[in-house]
Amino acid sequence: MLQELSHMDRITQLQDEIQRLLTIMSSTIAYLTARSTFLQVSEQIPITKIRNPDKYDSPELFEANKNELVQDLIVKAKQIEYLIQSLPVPEPEEQQANRLQALERQMQDANEEYIQAVDRAKNLHRKISEFLRIMLDNADGPVGLVP
């Protein structure tokens, strides 16, 4: 059971790291679209819009930031890869089916025990209720214990 919790912790870590990777990717796209300037890539397609110089970074700063974002993405991807490698090898399908059948039997046994316990509780409740009814009905005199 403890080992399964450890695997679940790894899966949770993996989910968290994937979420962080997506956040980095989203931030990267936002930065690249917000802080870049428009460049003409073809002579047939003119630039129709010009950004204010304080709205975009210098080419050197933009390139440095771009490289830093790429490094962040690579580091996060490697962390995710490491977490994936640390996950346990999936057990064979036949073994999973056997384990599930055993769990099903245990659940059925527990359910039968529960039903028996509920029946015992109902039976005891009925007996106690009858006894209390008899005691209350005979409150004026002795209760069936005659010396």
Mean predicted confidence (pLDDT) in 41-69: 85
Mean predicted confidence (pLDDT) in 26-53: 83
Read off the pLDDT band of 142 (50, 70, 90): low
pLDDT at 33 over 90: no
Mean pLDDT of the chain: 86
Q: Is 35 exposed, middle or buried (0-12, 13-18, 19+ CB in 10 A)?
A: middle
CA dihedral defined by 20, 21, 24, 26, rounded to 10 degrees? -100
Percentage of the chain surpassing pLDDT 90?
A: 52
Q: Measuring CA to CA, how many Å separate 144 from each of 16, 124, 125, 129, 130? A: 71, 20, 21, 17, 14
pLDDT at 40 over 90: no
pLDDT at residue 27, as a whole number: 92
Percentage of the chain surpassing pLDDT 70?
A: 89
